[in-house]
Amino acid sequence: MGNPGAEFEHSRHNSGADTIALLARRHGSTLKLDRRARALTAGVRIGGRAVTLAFPQTYYNDSGFAVVTLAKRHDLLDDASRIVIVHDELDLPIGRIKVKVGGGLAGNNGLRSIKAHLHTDGFARVRIGVGKPPGKQQGADHVLRRPGKREREELDVTIEEAADAVELLVVEGPEAAMTRFNQRD
């Protein structure tokens, strides 16, 4: 997930979108606009499996529109666990990722939109830590800003790991991904 437009590129909120773009590059593809799905998409193969990568071009809080369109197209409505949502997470420090399937939304309006459109929270998630905002800064202000140089470097490494987590989810399943990525300090 992320927000479309140059002003949001490489912001903390677009960590998920940056991960999807990285996955497309790793697998020899580029994201192209799919107007019907309202998303940038790329078809790739990961571990021999066909995967559609997507970055909704709706705003973050309306991601469910694009997700449900793609879920219908790829016959995933009956098994939402095959949908992987990659998103930023205020409750995790920079440099951490966590993988989970289902569960609470932690106040994330993008996840709320996806759950409302899919009628389930049973999708997989790769959560990318962007840390809590400093001082009295609001969460929205924090995630919509681009990080400083040191934090950007940490976030870039975390995005690489998030891409690794997506690949492991696809190839070996959520248990393997959770075992590998959720036990880290």
Distance of CA 111 to the CA centre of its chain: 10
Q: Report yes or no: 179 and 159 within 8 Å, Cβ to Cβ.
A: no
- Residue 44 domain-assigned (yes or no): yes
Classify residue 163: in a domain, yes or no: yes
Q: At residue 9, what are phi and psi to the nearest 5 degrees?
A: -55, 135
Distance from C-alpha of 83 to C-alpha of 86, rounded to nearest angstrom? 10
Q: Which residue in 10, 13, 87, 119 is the catalytic one?
A: 13
Q: In what order do the strands lie in the sheet with 32-34?
A: 32-34, 39-46, 49-56
Q: What is the pLDDT of residue 132?
A: 83
Assigned domain for 115 exists: yes
93 within a domain of the structure (yes/no): yes
| Residue 23 falls inside a structural domain | yes
Is 1 within the bounds of a domain? no
CATH number of the domain enclosing 107: 3.40.50.1470
CB burial readout 144-153, b (16+ within 10 A) else e: beebeeeeee
pLDDT in tens, the chain (185 residues): 999 999 999 999 999 999 999 999 999 999 999 999 999 999 999 999 999 999 999 999 999 999 999 999 999 999 999 999 999 999 999 989 999 999 988 889 999 999 999 999 999 999 999 988 777 667 777 788 888 899 999 999 999 999 999 999 999 999 999 999 997 65
pLDDT of residue 136: 67
**pLDDT recorded at residue 184:** 66
* Confidence (pLDDT) at 133: 79
The answer to the question of residue 78 being in a domain is: yes
Instruction: Please give the residue range of the domain that contains residue 168.
Output: 6-181
Q: How many domains does the chain have?
A: 1
**Do residues 43 and 54 touch, judged by C-beta distance below 8 A?**
no
119 is catalytic: no
Residue whose tokens read 């449900």: 68
Structure-token pair, residue 67: 């997700």
Q: What pLDDT, on the 0 to 100 scale, is given for residue 146? A: 86
d(CA 171, CA 7): 34
What's the confidence (pLDDT) of residue 119?
96
Question: In this structure, is residue 21 part of a structural domain?
Answer: yes
pLDDT of residue 185: 54
Length of the chain: 185
Residue 144 to residue 165: CA distance in whole angstroms = 24
End-to-end, the C-alpha distance of the chain in Å comes to 25
